[in-house]
Amino acid sequence: MAKEKYNTDQLIAAILEGIENVKGEEINLLDLREIENTVCDYFIICSGSSNTQVNAIVSSVQKVVSKTLKEKPWHVEGTDNAEWVLIDYVNIVVHVFQKQIRDYYDIESLWGDAKTTTIETNY
Tell me the pLDDT tens digit for each residue of 61-106: 999 999 999 999 999 999 999 999 999 999 999 999 999 999 999 9
Note the pLDDT of residue 113: 93
82: left (phi over 0), alpha (psi -120 to 50) or beta: left
Does the pLDDT value for residue 1 go beyond 50?
Answer: no
Please tell me the pTM assigned to this model: 0.93
Q: Which residues contact 105 (CB under 8 A, 6 or more apart)?
A: 84, 97
Q: What are phi and psi of 90, to 5 degrees?
A: 70, -75
Cross-strand bridge partners of residue 75: 88
Note the pLDDT of residue 74: 97
Does the pLDDT value for residue 3 go beyond 70?
Answer: no
Sorted by where each starts, the structural domains of the chain and their CATH numbers stand as: 8-108 (3.30.460.10)
Note the pLDDT of residue 23: 98
Q: How confident is the model at residue 4 (pLDDT cuts 50, 70, 90)?
A: low
Tell me the pLDDT tens digit for each residue of 14-73: 999 999 999 999 999 999 999 999 999 999 999 999 999 999 999 999 999 999 999 999
Note the pLDDT of residue 2: 45
